[in-house]
Structures are given as structure tokens and as C-alpha cells.
Structure 1
């Protein structure tokens, strides 16, 4: 028996088939959007081979030995190991950080720093030139920062000139821009976790760049505004709320930055058991209650600063170091505040130059009048 299907039924069947095909295509996208890069601390035992091929920044141990002239000149030492001065291709200066066998940070932090710096680029972050990961020999090769770090300049122990207040503000602004990039310019967002004056390096023009990303952590897509993690950082700079709860967020970096800003203002130790109040935030608050801003400011500045910009910077620093993260500004707000401080300071400088210029002109006129005889 032959069944005859009406034409209308055929049309209906064709429409259903077309719709089914369209639905299947929608379920299989041709590209993925919004997927974050792989987390910093991946589970593989070595740096991703794909990253190596793309970046071409892996050096052999013999190349590291050659660029440092057999580790001849040490620049300093940290938790990771000793940092050596070196030359790449015989001309480009570099800093080579070599992992020591007794390092408290170890391979995990070495790997974290490499994977982060391979994918982030900003003028206020120290750039990674390359790395070595060969048979237990681990090293990180950075751009060379000829003016060492902020702490070095504030110490005044090395016969270096005192940093002017306007220069200090520019350094603080540079560091804030670097942190803002980590917090909102990266995908996923980054938290540095070890912001301090020794991790703010200065180049030949005193441009500040944030360094040492071994403790950095990322927020993956779908995370809340914080993650729970093992507490890490440097005593004195460590966010008390993060220390108490283990809940890490961008505001933890803001707290640490506030402590750095207080260092810039006061040139005081972050923790000093010989002070009335050991921690720098407590000491500043104690002195502020007496209204003695002159005692707070670094005496090496000899009062050469605009009081308005100083008060703004002091207020900003204390708000960053607020014990409650909800009352702290974000890094974008910090940047706006520092720009206001710089504007105020530069305006004062400009007015002072105008006054000095007028005084110089008046002296010249008086001098000319006295030298030449009056008309008879």
C-alpha cells in the first residue's frame, strides 16, 4: 500500500529539521569569549612549553653563567636567592635572580613569577627578560634597575641625594599605576601580596616599577571579590584583615601601599619597638592627635614641601591603611588622590619660582640704580 503525504506535512517536517540544525549550531560556538588565562600556579611540574615557544625567553644555565661573568657581581639578596648583575648579548644590562638551595620560597614561587610576567606588561612593572629552568638550576632574568629600590633611597645610608617631595609623589604614583594594572587591567585580576618599599625598584630616571611577584595570586572567572588562601606577606605591611580571616582581595594590596606611602612621608621604620607606638600607622595616628605634622614628615626634607599636598597624602595613606577593607579606597581612587597632591605641590613650586624671579629682578634694578650715578 502506498501512503501519500500531503504537501503541507512535508513543509512542516522540513521546517522542524531546519530548526533542529540551527539549535545544534548555537550549542557549538566557533570561539570562546571571556575565558581567563591559565592560573599562575598550574599543576604541571615545569613552565608550559607553549609559553616557552611563544615567548622564546628560556636560557640555559651556561648562558646564565656567561651573562653574569660566572656570578661575579652580587646586587643583593632576598628570600628567593642572590641577585647578580649581568649583560645580555654583551651590552644590555640585566639583573639575574638565582634560586638558592635554602630558599624559603622555592620552585612554586619561582614558577608563579615566571608565568605571571610572561603574560603581563606594564611600564610600572619590572619586565622579565627570561628565565632558566635546567636540571635544578633556577634563575630569573629581569631588566636592570640602576637606582635599586625605594627603601635604599629613603635610608640615606649610601651617600645618595635626598628624594624631593615631588619626586616621592611621582614614585608613589608610578607604583599605584602598576598595582591598578594588576587589579583591573589583568584578566584574571591579580593581587601582588608583597607590596613594600624594597619591592618598588627605580630606574635611571627614577621611574618606579613593582617587582617580586612570587607570592602573587589571581582571581579566576566566577570567583567572588575575594579568595581564601594561606596568609603570606611581610610583617608590618600585611593587611590585618587578611591576616585575621585569610580572605585575600585587592584591598590587601591597598593596605600595603598605604604603609609604603607612610614610609615615603615619614622615612620611619614600619615597625620600631623603640617608638611610643611600634607600628607606623599607630605612631602616625598618635602624633596626628597632637597636631604635629612637622614631627611626622621626614626631617631630611627640611620643610621643603607644600603643606596642602602633604596633608592630602597623609590622609590618603591613612585611609589606605584603614583596618577595615571596606573603608579603603581602590587603586584608581588612590591614583586620583596622588595626582591632586602632585598638582598642589607643582603649583606651589611654580609660585615660589615666580616669587624668586621677582626678587631677583628687584635686586637687579636696585643694583643698577646704585652703580650708575644719578643725573645732575
Structure 2
């Protein structure tokens, strides 16, 4: 179909028309050489172009007003021109070039024939039943859009992965998809990405969900095989790139089977624990692709041939942390880590396992290939070893008889942490010894794991005196991890407030860096709010108390503490609940301290959780106290509705919670936002006040948002609320056209002035 479409575009090339732009073409009025086709909102442009260094012309689509311009789709890459008699074409504001018949039925669209670039709302993937694959294919060169040798696509396995192939050979792998990002791309924090699998239809598609055209961006594969994702924020900002030019560990299988790659080590390849190089000569020369062999036969293999009267010890598992998990995992329908471990232990073909909360149980029966050690993020991988192989270690850990002993992967660098603590005036904290924390958590038993924080896993424990604690164990020796670890110690040791989690002490012993917090029995707010069985426990009075508590905690951070702190990662999962359901803000690893006169800060490293991040921070790296206010607004609307901001189950065209809340507010139906679990018992004035405040806090421009002092006063009914403006980041043009005609009625229906507060 591409061939035929191109003849429509260039059929009248000899004509010499005055240069102009149009938004549709027909068979009787074709696009000619000196014309361009422009989308209705002036976002995308289609026309003829000549790549730099080339004398050839192509038909392509590019972003119109964003310099330098980037061609995101090419029609005639390799093919001669044909002829068509179809009626009309148009270019949508999503960048989709559509061919329609006279009845406006879509006959062909450019999104079905991707080139080297994935636009928002496009998809790549595979349909195994039809055999159709939608892959990105690189240009042959920067001056030649014809088909290159690199192809990127999505696997059908569960969990799926992105793959780049050079010809037929794997070149790069993203790691497994864990609902919000790929395990192998630590810098991928953008929650706009998603993968949808349909086992009945046999489809697996990866796409970038554009919330009503609120973001401009692309993901493309270069002629050298690198994949880059970028977004527009007064310039193209790279969100993530892989393989990174400075990290050869990202090249598929560079260390061979049972090898692990660490770009910060020298040499960068080493064998897994219990394995040795297949060829020492080649290994020492830096040729690692043949990989490693097991040093000692597994006990389960011995037991298969041993006499019935012979007692054979069970195998053990060696824990590796912060790992890009190997390729070729088998997904198992087991919903807990203990069952996952037991299955692997009972099946001798199982060489290792991993349990990831967002995925479930994965096991490996093939060679462990393309394994990488990260400095941050990553997952736990448990390698099966014979007991004697594990026991051959240097003796840092006592011999245990239970087969599920978890051991640390490698020592961290020695630093003078206690001296640094004293210099930084944090000496009032209790410094625990490692053995007391290890015993309190039952040797960091997986049954005691409470969750995975930004710095590492968190375990429940009980000290000898009976006091319950939550121990956060630093995941690696990376400079970033240590810096954030120290940041959290210094911050929390100086911050004391009833709505902030309390730091009891820390463990700084050799290779171990552990934060010890008070244990909060009700865990985090999301365990109640987004669980259909648990959310009823959050009555409106409890929710309103949580909202007020979080607001007071933020006000303390911004204004009332001895420091001025911006949290930068406020979200539902970072609100912990004590036994009386009182909220406490946690996870200060990403927080920043500022001088009293500092208002705005620009960072090249955007950290946090998209969906909670303000537009100026997510797109431009600019953050301030108003960034936390935006996050609080999202949190507030989620608490009211019991829904996630990034959920896709909102009716009609409303693709997120903010869009849906604004729509209901415009129609005077704000109360329809309330969670059905509490719809029969709530304070109308409080709910309406909170919805209006949530919309005010999530305004596009930071100057339109209230500060936290104003927020607290508004929540308490001590200050009137202004009318929110319509956001532009979350809405389609159709809704934008509808709102002005309703504006007067909106103001009369939703304006409230609170002079008295109803009892709760």
C-alpha cells in the first residue's frame, strides 16, 4: 500500500505551485513537491525531504516547530512509486498519516508500517496467529533512509522484553517488563510506556500512551543500533538510551553463559559464584563470549545416581542483588517467593529463580545468559549451587543448615562512616551492629520482606528487647547509592514531626549499610487504597485525616523544620500508616535541602515517579516546593477516588484521573469522583473542598498552585479556594472546546466558601 500511496503524493511533481501548507490531500488535489501537509494543530508536517549528504528525495513526517527537526517516518524507503485511486489522506495530530475511502473508512495508516521511530500511540509488537510483526528498522545510514541492519521488536514471552537484532543475531535486550518499566533499563522512569499482551489473540504490543496528546516525544533506533527515547521540553531531552555508548555490558551476551558483566569492574566480566571460565586462555585475553562452566556438580544431580541409602545434602541458593535478570526465563504461576523457591529446589533442571512482585515467579532451566550487575535498581537473582560450593567462601558467614540461606553477593568498599556521621552531627542516632539486625530479621528472611525501596529492600525485624523495626538494606556500593544513603541519614536525623517516619538508627559495618526505622504495622497507604478488599477500611474520616496529616508533614518539610526540604517523590506508596492509621511520609532518599532564598532548581537528573511529577519537573527538570504541591494534589485525588492517576479504566476519552476529575468538576458532578467503597458515608463539604484543592494543586503552572501553608488552611476551612484553571497537559482538544461554553455554570455550581466545618 505504501507504493500506491507514494504515487498519489508525487503524481503532479512537475507542477510548479506556490509554496503552501494544507491539512488534507485528495486524488484531484495531490501534494506536490513544494507543498507540505500539516496536522490541524501545527504539530506534525509531511512532505518531501532530502537527507543531509544525499541527493535523493523521500516522503516523510517530522515535528514541525521543534528544532532541530527529526524525521519520524519515511514512506518510500526502498520502494519504487506506484499508483492509487483512493479518495483522500490526512495527517493526524498524533503523527498518523491516514488513507481514507470516500466514506472515511481507514484503508491504510502509517502507524501500521513503522520505520525507525515509535511515536506516542503507535505500537510495535507481534501477532503470532497472523504472523504480522510491527518492528522498528534502522536507516542504513544517517543520509540513507533505506532499510538498515538493526531491527527492534517485542517478544511474545511472559514477561515480554524489547529486543534489538543485528540481522538475525541478538544485539541488545531490555530485560523483563515489570508493569511500569523494563528491568534492564534502570533510567526508565517514564510511566507513559506500557505493554499489552492478549494470550487469546496471540498479541504482544509495546507503546507509549499519549494522554490526549499531552506529550511530544519519540523512541527510535539509530543506524548503529542504539535505541533512544526523547521528550520535548523546550528542546529534546533524552529519557533513556540503550545500549549506552559508555557501557559495553549492555551488548547482548558479552560475558557468555553463566558470566556476569559489571561496567565498573576491571575486567568487566566475571563468572558467577560456583563457576569458572570455560577457557582460561581466552578469558584472560578478554574473549569472554564462551562463558563459564560449573565448578562442582549439583547435589540434586548426585542424588539421581546415588544409592538409596546414601544421604545427599540439598543444594543452596546464592543471592545476587541489583541484577539485570538473565534471558530465557520461564514464567511460573506461583504467587509467593517461598513457593517459587520450593519449586526450583524440587526441580533439578532449575538453575536459578527470581521473584519480582510486579511479575511473579521466574525460573531458569537454560544457560544464564546476558546477566548484568547494576549499581542501582535491578532485582534479586538466586543461583543454585552445591552446598560445598557455597561453603568454599572466605568464611565471612557462618555455615547454616537450611538450604535457603541468603548470602551477600560481594563486599562494599570500606569507608569511615562513623566519623562522617559525627562530623555531620548525626551522632545522636543509635548505631546497631550487623549481627543484631541480621538476627532481628531472621537473616533477612524473604518472609520478612516488606517491600523494595529506592535504595534497597526493606525487612521487618524484632530486636532482643522486643522492639519491632523496619530495616532498609542498601543494595550496592555504587556512589549514587551511598550518597542517597547518607542523604537519608542526615535528613531524617534532623527532621522530627509526627507525620514523618522516625529513624531509630543505622548499621554501618564493613560491607553493610542499613537504615533502621520505626515499624509501622499497617504498611503503606497503597496496600489499602488500591485493594478492593481492604479499601473499605479507609472511611472518609480516616482518609481526610490522612490527607491533613500528609499536608502538615509537607508544610513542616517546606517551612517549619530547621532545614528546607523538597521531597521529590511523594506518592501513595511512600505514605506509611501506624496502628491508628495516622500517616507518616517516608523515603527521603531523593529529597533535597535548600537555602532559604532558593526558589527554583534545575536538574539534569529527573528522579521520582511519573504520574506524580509536575510538568515543569518531568519535562524540564525544574523543581521547587510547588513540585511537591503537584504530587500532593495527585495524591489527594487518588485518596478521594481510590483510583490510580495512571489507570486506564476511566470512561470515555479521559485517560487519567486528573482528566476525569476535571471533567466531573466542569459538569458539576464532582461527587461522582468519590470511591464507591465510601459512597454512602462522607462529608459533602470536605469532599468538594478536597476535589477543588486537588485540581488547584495540579495546575500546569507552578505559580497557579498554592503553597503548603495555604493548602493546610484550605483543608481546615480557614481560607477560601480559588477556581482552578483547565489543565492542558491531560486533555484532548475536544474537551477544551466544550469548557468555555460551560464556564459560568461551572463557577456557580462548584464555588464553595467554608465558614463552618462539619463534624467528622
- Pick the structure with more strand per residue: 2
Of 65, 72, 77, the match for 2:438: 65
Residue 428 (structure 2) aligns with: 55
Asked whether 1:302 is paired with 2:675, we answer no
Residue 100 (structure 1) aligns with: 475
Deviations 1:227-261 (A, max 9, x none): 22232110100011222332221111010000000
Please report the TM-score for the alignment, with normalisation by the length of structure 1: 0.75
**1:283-322 matches, cutoff 5 A:** 283-322=660-699
Asked whether 1:347 is paired with 2:722, we answer no
Of 503, 512, 520, the match for 1:137: 512
Distance 1:171 1:56, change over 3 A: closer
Partner Cα distance (1:125, 1:336) in 2: 20
Residue 501 (structure 2) aligns with: 126
**1:1-376 matches, cutoff 5 A:** 46=417, 47-51=420-424, 54-72=427-445, 73-101=448-476, 106-157=481-532, 159=534, 161-220=536-595, 223-229=597-603, 230-275=605-650, 276-340=653-717, 347=758
- Pick the structure with more helix per residue: 1
> Cα distance, 1:141 vs. partner?
0.6
Residue 55 (structure 2) aligns with: none
Deviations 1:57-79 (A, max 9, x none): 22222221122121231122233
> Cα distance, 1:286 vs. partner?
2.1
> Cα distance, 1:111 vs. partner?
1.4
Partner Cα distance (1:306, 1:56) in 2: 43
Residue 367 (structure 1) aligns with: none
Q: How many residues align?
A: 304
Kept in 1: contact 2:717–2:757 (CA 8 A): no
Please report the TM-score for the alignment, with normalisation by the length of structure 2: 0.38
Residue 360 (structure 1) aligns with: none
Partner Cα distance (1:53, 1:119) in 2: 8
Deviations 1:150-206 (A, max 9, x none): 111112345464311111111111111111111011233110001111111110011
Deviations 1:127-165 (A, max 9, x none): 101112222212111001111111111123454643111
Deviations 1:242-288 (A, max 9, x none): 22332221111010000000001111111023433223211211232
Kept in 1: contact 2:429–2:506 (CA 8 A): no
Partner Cα distance (2:590, 2:698) in 1: 20
Partner Cα distance (1:48, 1:124) in 2: 25
Partner Cα distance (2:640, 2:755) in 1: 16
Deviations 1:264-313 (A, max 9, x none): 11111110234332232112112323332343111111231122221111
Partner Cα distance (1:138, 1:281) in 2: 39
Residue 20 (structure 1) aligns with: none
Partner Cα distance (2:533, 2:463) in 1: 28
What secondary structure, in the 3-state scheme, does the structure 2 residue paired with 1:272 have?
Answer: coil
What secondary structure, in the 3-state scheme, does the structure 2 residue paired with 1:318 have?
Answer: helix
Partner Cα distance (1:282, 1:303) in 2: 24
Kept in 2: contact 1:162–1:301 (CA 8 A): no
> Cα distance, 1:56 vs. partner?
4.1
> Cα distance, 1:109 vs. partner?
1.4
What secondary structure, in the 3-state scheme, does the structure 1 residue paired with 2:758 have?
Answer: helix
Partner Cα distance (1:51, 1:188) in 2: 14
Kept in 2: contact 1:305–1:345 (CA 8 A): no
> Cα distance, 1:322 vs. partner?
0.8
Deviations 1:310-357 (A, max 9, x none): 11111111101111111111111111122229x9997355xxxxxxxx
Deviates more, 1:196-205 or 1:90-99: 90-99
Deviations 1:215-236 (A, max 9, x none): 0001125x43122223211010
**RMSD, matched Cα:** 2.5
What secondary structure, in the 3-state scheme, does the structure 2 residue paired with 1:131 have?
Answer: strand
Structure with more relative contact order (C-alpha pairs < 8 Å, separation 6 or more): 1
Distance 1:52 1:102, change over 3 A: closer
Partner Cα distance (1:184, 1:226) in 2: 15
What secondary structure, in the 3-state scheme, does the structure 2 residue paired with 1:54 have?
Answer: coil
Kept in 2: contact 1:319–1:327 (CA 8 A): yes
Partner Cα distance (1:322, 1:145) in 2: 33
Distance 1:282 1:159, change over 3 A: closer
What secondary structure, in the 3-state scheme, does the structure 1 residue paired with 2:450 have?
Answer: strand
Kept in 2: contact 1:79–1:105 (CA 8 A): no
Residue 38 (structure 1) aligns with: none
What secondary structure, in the 3-state scheme, does the structure 1 residue paired with 2:716 have?
Answer: helix
Distance 1:98 1:175, change over 3 A: same
Partner Cα distance (1:78, 1:175) in 2: 19
Residue 75 (structure 2) aligns with: none
| Structure 2 segments unaligned to the other structure (5+ residues) | 1-414, 719-753
Partner Cα distance (2:640, 2:479) in 1: 32
Partner Cα distance (2:638, 2:664) in 1: 15
What secondary structure, in the 3-state scheme, does the structure 1 residue paired with 2:427 have?
Answer: helix
Partner Cα distance (1:284, 1:169) in 2: 18
Kept in 1: contact 2:426–2:489 (CA 8 A): no
Kept in 1: contact 2:526–2:573 (CA 8 A): yes
Partner Cα distance (2:550, 2:475) in 1: 28
Distance 1:347 1:224, change over 3 A: closer
